[in-house]
Amino acid sequence: MTRTLKVGIVGWGAIGRVVGTALAGQDVQGAELTCVVDNRPLGEAAPAPQVPFEEAVERCDLIVEAAGQGVVREWAERVLTSGTDLLIASTGALTDDELAKRLLAAGPGRVYFTGGAVGGLDLLQAVRHLGPLEDVHLTTTKLPSTLEQPWMDEELLARMRSATGPVEVMAGTARDVPVKFPKSTNVAASVALAVGDLDAVRVRVVADPGATRTRHVVEASGTHGAYRFEVAHAPDPGNPATSQVVPYAVLRSLAALAGRTGQIL
């Protein structure tokens, strides 16, 4: 008989709540919710004990990070060093090369990344073995309010707020963009993880008042082929910066880690 995977969730928000509720309801064969970590007191809202981070690391086989890039920076290495595995949603933290290098080398815990809001990462990772991808582009289009940032000047904010159509708010690489939109463009770092190069992924971030669905378009080509993946997600009603599908991508990752048969890997 295989052991049940004890899972702790860090971040009881749009992602964590759905993942934690599903785990507590035994929706993921071979995994159970052991505890929850969050900034705010959750009281009865959490279906498992709310504990400090240190205690979660001690009690769990696997921690799901669904809190933000800062949590990855502060805790990821300690989780892995303690022997606990870590599944990261805030992949944008990996734009820091030093941190990325340390996490990939850390152990005995293992680090994993969820595909989150983008598709096709499995194929892009496979394609690397045929040779480099020369051209990789990601275009992310979201509601303007979900893209407002403290560093933006009045002129850009005014343009976003009064837009009647799409407005490009940033063009850069997967190294620059997730740092500027830490809660909204982790997908850029996820594409870069699949492609194996942060600087090779050209990213456009577009604010569009008509974007009732969040759109991510990944386009890549090389001598061996051309690839295009486009998704249009309903945003989470409580946190429209996050697409509603993301917790289900995390649950899919958890099912694979728990060893459920029949998974597409």
Ligand X SMILES: O=C([O-])CC(=O)C(=O)O
Q: Is 182 exposed, middle or buried (0-12, 13-18, 19+ CB in 10 A)?
A: middle
Give the nearer residue to ligand NDP in terms of CB position, either 118 or 133. 118
CA proximity to 183, closest of 97, 244, 242: 242
67 lies in the site for ligand NDP, by CB under 6 A: yes
Backbone angles phi, psi at 136, to 5 degrees: -130, 125
Q: Is 163 annotated as a binding residue?
A: no
**Residue with the CB atom nearest ligand NDP in the bound state:** 13
Give the nearer residue to ligand NDP in terms of CB position, either 39 or 263. 39
Q: Are 199 and 136 in contact (CB under 8 A)?
A: no
66 lies in the site for ligand NDP, by CB under 6 A: yes
242 lies in the site for ligand X, by CB under 6 A: yes
Taking CB under 6 A as the criterion, the residue among 91, 141, 214, 253 binding ligand NDP is 91
**How far, CA to CA in Å, does 265 sit from each of 43, 115, 226?**
37, 12, 22
67 lies in the site for ligand X, by CB under 6 A: no
Task: Tell me, yes or no, if 216 is annotated catalytic.
Answer: yes
Q: In whole angstroms, what is the distance from residue 150 CA to residue 140 CA?
A: 19
Q: Is 148 helix (H, G, I), strand (E, B) or coil?
A: coil
Q: Is 241 annotated as a binding residue?
A: no
Taking CB under 6 A as the criterion, the residue among 7, 15, 87, 103 binding ligand NDP is 15
Q: In whole angstroms, what is the distance from residue 88 CA to residue 48 CA?
A: 20
95 lies in the site for ligand X, by CB under 6 A: no
Q: Strands (DSSP E) along the chain, which ranges?
A: 5-10, 31-37, 62-65, 85-88, 111-113, 135-142, 167-173, 201-207, 214-222, 225-233
Site string for ligand X, 35-54 (x = CB under 6 A): --------------------
Edge-to-edge strands, sheet with 85-88:
31-37, 5-10, 62-65, 85-88, 111-113
69 lies in the site for ligand X, by CB under 6 A: no
Give the nearer residue to ligand NDP in terms of CB position, either 8 or 116. 116
184 lies in the site for ligand X, by CB under 6 A: yes
Helix H or strand E segment including 78: helix 69-81
Give the nearer residue to ligand X in terms of CB position, either 139 or 243. 243
Paired tokens of 153? 């000047």
Give the nearer residue to ligand X in terms of CB position, either 173 or 242. 242
Catalytically active residues are 216
Which residues are annotated as part of the binding site for NAD(+)? 117, 186
Residues forming contacts to ligand X in the complex (CB under 6 A) are 116-117, 183-187, 214, 233, 241-243, 246
Residues forming contacts to ligand NDP in the complex (CB under 6 A) are 10-16, 37-40, 66-71, 89-91, 116-117, 183, 186-187, 190, 239, 242, 246
